[in-house]
Every structure is written in structure tokens, then in C-alpha cells.
Amino acid sequence: MSLTSVVIIVLLILLAAYAVVLYNALVRLKHGVSKAWSNIEVMLKQRHEELPKLVETCKQYMQHERSTLEAVITARQAVANAQVKGDMNALGKAETGLRAGLGQLFALAENYPELKANESFQHLQQRISGLENGIADRRELYNEAVNLNNVRIEQFPDVLIARAFAFKEAVLLQFSESEKADVDLKSLFG
């Protein structure tokens, strides 16, 4: 065997090893996105289970706010449907609607001193607010994992491996601009 043959064989082995390293890095990123999504999903399920309890507690006091309570339930179902479908765009829109409904519900609760004093309501409000904060934190981690994945599968030489093995771009979980806007408290109490 000639020296040229040995050099070519060594180069092919190194190239194959490098391709394996790139492939494994892409697999880690793909699973990082899945793990980050699973963390969000856990909190969404927990919140999904708490919302009917909150609405039932509010129904006892807020007889005249039926449309607000129905909006929260409708938004809750839209989030669940988008979550089942794995549709990040629909989930972002549904989350925006749910957060707006919850904001309105909590603001309206200010008009009902008996409700605000209710221990169950206070516990549920704190629990749901905590879950909302957790979802926001986990959404940030998810979007970071998605961004790392998407950048990597577009960079050279990773793009060659990504295309060869059909690695897909992940979708960011984004809320609408109204979610990021300041809340107009006067309109909620008006």
C-alpha cells in the first residue's frame, strides 16, 4: 500500500469521524428543542387543570361577568387544541388570548371584595400567576434552543449533514404584539 493510499484512507476516516461529530451535535440540538418544549408542556397542562377551578370560584361571585369567564374557557380550549396539534403559531395566538382573558379576569376581581378575600381564589390566582411566569421563562429557553438548532442546521458544514438526514427547522413560540404591549388598566375597569 502506497503512502498516498494511506493518507487518503486516514483523511476519509477523519472526514467520517467529523461527519459523525456534526451529526451527533445536531441530534443533541434537536432533542434540546424537544426537551424545552416538554418543559413548557408540563406547565401548560398544570395551568390547564387550574383554570376551571378558578372560573368556578369566580362564577360564585361574578354573576355579571359571564362573558369574561367564557372568554377564559374558550381561550383555554384554543390553547389545548393548538398544543395537541403542535402548531406553534396557533399556540402563540391562543396564549395571547388566554393571557388577555386572565388579565381581564384578575382586574375585574378587584371589583369583588368577597372574591378577592376568598382563600381559594387567592391560592388559584397565585398558582396561575406562578405558572404564567414559569411558562414565560421556559418559553425563553425553548426559543433559545430553537434558535441554536435553526442556526446550526443552516451553517456550513452542518447544513450538509442536516439536509442529508432531513433535520427540520423548529418554530419559535411567539406571542402577538398585543401580549408585549402595556396593559391599559383604565379600559379594564371602565
Q: Could you tell me which residue, 120 or 150, shows the higher pLDDT?
A: 150
Residue 189 pLDDT > 80: no
Q: Could you tell me which residue, 132 or 1, shows the higher pLDDT?
A: 132
Q: How many whole angstroms separate alpha carbon 93 and alpha carbon 57?
A: 26
Q: Pick left, alpha or beta for residue 121 (phi over 0 → left; psi -120 to 50 → alpha; otherwise beta).
A: alpha
Q: Could you tell me which residue, 152 or 1, shows the higher pLDDT?
A: 152
Residue 182 pLDDT > 90: no
Q: How many whole angstroms separate alpha carbon 154 and alpha carbon 185?
A: 44
Q: Could you tell me which residue, 63 or 11, shows the higher pLDDT?
A: 11
Number of residues in the chain: 190
- Burial of 130 (C-beta count, 10 Å sphere; 0-12/13-18/19+): middle
| pLDDT confidence of residue 68 | 85
Q: Could you tell me which residue, 164 or 59, shows the higher pLDDT?
A: 164
Q: How many whole angstroms separate alpha carbon 102 and alpha carbon 105?
A: 5
pTM: 0.76
Convert 36-50 to b/e letters by CB count within 10 Å (16 or more is b): bbebbeebbeebbeb
Lowest mean pLDDT among 130-139, 152-161, 167-176: 167-176
Question: Distances from the Cα of 125 to the Cαs of 41, 44, 129, in angstroms?
Answer: 20, 15, 6
| pLDDT confidence of residue 29 | 96
pLDDT tens track for 41-75: 999 999 999 999 888 888 888 877 888 888 899 99
The three-class DSSP label of residue 26 is helix
Nearest to residue 150, comparing CAs of 76, 158, 189, 187? 158
pLDDT tens track for 68-124: 888 899 999 999 999 888 888 889 889 989 998 898 888 888 888 888 888 888 899
C-alpha cell at 109: 376581581
| pLDDT confidence of residue 14 | 96
- Overall fold of domain 3-189: de novo design (two linked rop proteins) (1.20.1440)
